[in-house]
Amino acid sequence: MNFSRHKFAFALLFLAALSGATALNAQQSSSSTVQASTPATPAPVATTPLRKWFIEGAGGGSFGPGLANGKMIDPTYTGTGGGGIRLTRRLEIPGELSFYRSVLPSWVLQTAQQPGGHYTILTYSVDPTFYFSRGPRFGFFAVGGGGYSHVGTTFDKPIGTTINCSIYSGLGYTNFTNFCNGTITGSSYSSNQAMYNFGIGIEGRLYPNHREILFAQGRYIHMMTPANQLPGPGFALVSITGGLRW
């Protein structure tokens, strides 16, 4: 009798264990099916880190009081190129070469009794740049520095319209049926002196996973030109440029 009871209890225990194992296997199979059917969320595109070394190029125009024969906007151009090092994400130190060109203001031409002329400026400077804010896409910065500048002033004299252009072939004159209009250099002056500049700008990355950065900036440039040298003492202008940094 006791032996029969033990067999009956053992049979009930075996059936309970078998039912539990079957239920657990069914639950695991259902969970695997749900996980397999749920699509994985794509990872966001990572922002490409900035490189330690960079190069840049920019172009634009300049303006200032009395430039371009009384006009406020310089009708010619400004070009800048250079490169540098990023010390931190917010601090960069670039070295830059800049070129500026404009016609002479009317008061200079009247004083010198010349019909026309232009000035050219070359600057070599080191311009530390500090970023007030720099996110994955946009940044706002201040720039300022100094260096060396070369300022050249040239007076031009017109040549007549009855000169055969073939005599001046290769000198850059425009040919109109063998007659030309142009200028010849009457006299020129130049000076070398220290300079400084400062300004602000903004930048933007079109694609966070690319290294190319577009930027725009405005700067005040001051050349310590001597009092007895054209275009005058302490010659200055404001430059607006836009460019690419990579």
Instruction: Compute the half-sphere exposure of residue 59: CA atoms within 13 Å on the CB side of its CA.
Output: 2
Contact indicator for 193, 151 with CB cutoff of 8 Å = yes
Q: Residue 105: pLDDT above 60?
A: yes
Q: Residue 231: pLDDT above 70?
A: no
CA 130 to chain centre: 14
Q: How far apart are CA 239 and CA 217, in angstroms?
A: 8
Quote the tokens at residue 233.
Answer: 């003492």
Which residue has better confidence, 193 or 4? 193
Q: How far apart are CA 47 and CA 175, in angstroms?
A: 55
From residue 225, alpha-carbon distances to 17, 164, 232 in Å are 100, 40, 7
Q: What is the pLDDT confidence band of residue 189, given thresholds at 50, 70 and 90?
A: confident
Q: What is the pLDDT confidence band of residue 181, given thresholds at 50, 70 and 90?
A: low
Contact indicator for 58, 243 with CB cutoff of 8 Å = yes
Q: How far apart are CA 60 and CA 210, in angstroms?
A: 25
Q: What is the pLDDT confidence band of residue 98, given thresholds at 50, 70 and 90?
A: very high
Average pLDDT over every residue of 194-206: 94
Q: What is the value of pTM for the model shown? A: 0.68
What is the share, in percent, of the chain residues with pLDDT greater than 90?
A: 33
Q: How far apart are CA 97 and CA 119, in angstroms?
A: 17
Phi, psi angle pair for 230, to nearest 5°: -65, 145
pLDDT of residue 129: 97
Q: Residue 70: pLDDT above 50?
A: no
Beta bridge partners of 121: 100, 151
- What amino acid occupies position 156? D
Average pLDDT over every residue of 15-33: 51
Which residue has better confidence, 72 or 213? 213
Listed residue (117, 165, 142, 157) closest to 219, CA to CA: 142
Q: Residue 227: pLDDT above 50?
A: yes
pLDDT of residue 76: 65
pLDDT of residue 128: 97
Q: Residue 234: pLDDT above 60?
A: yes
Peptide bond into 115 cis (omega under 30): no
Which residue has better confidence, 189 or 192? 192
3-class DSSP state for residue 160?
Answer: coil
Phi, psi angle pair for 240, to nearest 5°: -115, 120
Q: Residue 184: pLDDT above 70?
A: no
What are the helix (H) ranges across the chain? Answer: 2-37, 106-112
Which residue has better confidence, 68 or 144? 144
